[in-house]
């Protein structure tokens, strides 16, 4: 369900010393999102903005400008993580929990209204939470679909396979 260990380790080390995006890169992000989407994207930490930008830039070089809603999906794929409110170390802990506990088990914690287990379940469910958020702010259907399925098995993808493969491999680089 979650990305490979090498990818996670790379992201962890990077997140300890993130670089801010240049104005030019921020303009590129803005040009691929609606105003509402950009307002949420701006809430990402510096490290998450950087990851989102890298994934989207890589994907857009292969998808091209016609697939703007898919580039938006690449920029917003982890937007649901905003809900869990974890910092870098909390994320490492949350990711390990996602690897150790099946979602079935974590789902039993869903009755919890607050506390660490509530935040863990929010983290594990970030694709659903992200899709819900994007639906509320009027994102395009193709964008919402990829955000919802970006950790699903490839057999279940509804995004056109060619595009989904580009999006998935850009995220796991
Ligand atoms: Fe994700
Ligand atoms: Fe990612």
Instruction: Return d(Cα 164, Cα 62) in angstroms, integer.
Output: 11
Instruction: Return d(Cα 49, Cα 76) in angstroms, integer.
Output: 10
pLDDT score, position 118: 67
Query: Nearest ligand to the C-alpha of residue 150?
Result: 1
How far is ligand 2, taken at its centre, from the CA of residue 52, in Å? 7
Lowest-pLDDT range, 9-23, 27-41, 76-90, 102-116? 102-116
For the chain, the structural domain boundaries read 5-171
Query: Nearest ligand to the C-alpha of residue 173?
Result: 2
Convert the pLDDT of each residue in 117-128 to its tens digit.
767 777 778 999
How far is ligand 1, taken at its centre, from the CA of residue 8, in Å? 11
Query: Nearest ligand to the C-alpha of residue 125?
Result: 1
How far is ligand 1, taken at its centre, from the CA of residue 90, in Å? 15
pLDDT score, position 173: 67
Provide the mean pLDDT of the chain: 85
* Closest residue by Cα to residue 53 from 64, 67, 39, 42: 42
Tokens of 157: 């993808």
CA distances from 93 to 45, 97, 124 (A): 17, 6, 12
Query: Nearest ligand to the C-alpha of residue 152?
Result: 1
Reported as type and span, the H/E element at residue 6 is helix 5-16
Query: Nearest ligand to the C-alpha of residue 146?
Result: 1
pLDDT (mean) for 139-164:
96
CA distances from 64 to 42, 61, 140, 157 (A): 24, 6, 17, 20
How far is ligand 2, taken at its centre, from the CA of residue 77, in Å? 7
pTM summary value:
0.80
């Amino acid at each position: 369900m979650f990305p490979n260990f090498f990818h996670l380790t790379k992201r962890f080390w990077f997140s300890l010393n993130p670089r801010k995006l240049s104005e030019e890169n921020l303009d590129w992000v803005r040009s691929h999102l609606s105003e509402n989407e950009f307002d949420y994207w701006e809430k990402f930490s510096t490290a998450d903005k950087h990851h989102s930008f890298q994934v989207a830039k890589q994907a857009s070089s292969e998808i091209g400008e016609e697939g703007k809603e898919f580039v938006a999906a690449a920029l917003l794929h982890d937007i649901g993580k905003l809900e869990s409110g974890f910092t870098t170390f909390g994320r490492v802990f949350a990711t390990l929990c996602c690897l150790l506990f099946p979602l079935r088990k974590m789902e039993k914690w869903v009755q919890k209204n607050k506390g660490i287990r509530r935040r863990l379940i929010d983290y594990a469910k970030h694709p659903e939470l992200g899709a819900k958020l994007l639906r509320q702010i009027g994102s395009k259907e193709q964008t919402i679909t990829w955000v919802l399925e970006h950790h699903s098995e490839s057999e279940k993808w509804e995004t056109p396979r060619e595009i989904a493969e580009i999006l998935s491999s850009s995220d796991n680089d």
